[in-house]
Amino acid sequence: MARKRKNIDRFPQSSEPPRKKRVSTTPLPDGVHHYQEVDEVPCDLQKYWHQGYSIFSKYDAGIWMTDDAWYGVTHESVANKIALHMAEVAPPKRSIIIDAFCGVGGNTIAFALSGKWKRVYAIEKDAATLACAKHNAEIYGVADRITWFHGDCFEILGASGKTEKTVEALTAITGQFGVIFASPPWGGPGYRTADVFDLESMQPYSFSYIYDSFKKLTPNQVLYLPRTSDLRQIAARVERGKKTQIVHYCTNGTSRALCAYLGDWAPLKL
């Protein structure tokens, strides 16, 4: 079930709101919306809706969102930049990417558009959110490059100890050819107010839980985390003698989030 992440505001700046024109008469699945008028938008989401095309430039083509997704979707410019960086510095012989928390597809679509990966595998626990991601990928013309999985990424990837829902073929190719991108929920106390965010308090999955779980498959991970994340906690997971890169992704000159490049990524030329 998608977590309601009140107070999570990854992109507080405003930009042009979506234009108001009806683009599709397709009935939407339960919990899925394509708001066209501000009065349709729940009050607590209106500021996000006003960010309009900075989230999905093709919003008017009929982008689908769940109400929860507005809080956590990666805005298109940031998703494209991350995809570009990951393509530039990917570890050798890594040709597939797993977006473990794909949401409504912000990052998944950017990875597919980058042309770097032979295949993009996208996992999402919430059915309505996954329906949005699939639909949005169609709008961006990249649906045929993505394989979707509905369920818990830790179970599907065989990293939870529960094997019933593990997709063994995915586990095997992830180990051999894969990198994992993870933009988990950032729930937890104090993430917006703390000067330094304790990554072990992140809910429902701590940084260590995510990193250690996925490390069973591959050390090559990029984790998308709050900009105030405690870098000492990330550094503590890096093997002795190795380095990691932390990249802040900004809009309007302000860091919105950081990515930790863990594993064998080449140095980024920034």
Q: Which residues bind ligand SAM (CB under 6 A)?
A: 2, 69, 72-74, 101-107, 123-126, 129, 152-154, 183-185
Rounded least distance, CB 233 to ligand SAM, Å: 19
Rounded least distance, CB 178 to ligand SAM, Å: 16
CB-wise, 165 or 238, nearer to ligand SAM?
Answer: 165
Q: 146 forms bridges with which residues in the sheet?
A: 120
Distance of CA 190 to CAs 107, 203, 218, 229, Å?
25, 11, 30, 11
Rounding to the nearest 10 degrees, give the CA dihedral for residues 89, 92, 232, 236. Answer: 180
Rounded least distance, CB 103 to ligand SAM, Å: 2
- CB neighbour burial string for 212-248, b if at least 16 within 10 angstroms, e if fewer: ebbbbbbbbbbbbbbebbbeebbeebeeeeeeebebe
**CA quadruple 182, 92, 213, 196: dihedral sign:** negative
CA-based end-to-end distance of the chain:
38
Helix 76-89 / helix 106-114 crossing angle, nearest 10 deg:
50
Tell me the H-state helices in the chain. Answer: 46-49, 69-72, 76-89, 106-114, 127-139, 153-156, 168-177, 207-215, 231-235
Distance, in Å, from the CA atom of 128 to the CA atom of 248, rounded to the nearest integer, reads 30
CB-wise, 140 or 154, nearer to ligand SAM?
Answer: 154
Distance, in Å, from the CA atom of 193 to the CA atom of 41, rounded to the nearest integer, reads 27
CB-wise, 124 or 230, nearer to ligand SAM?
Answer: 124
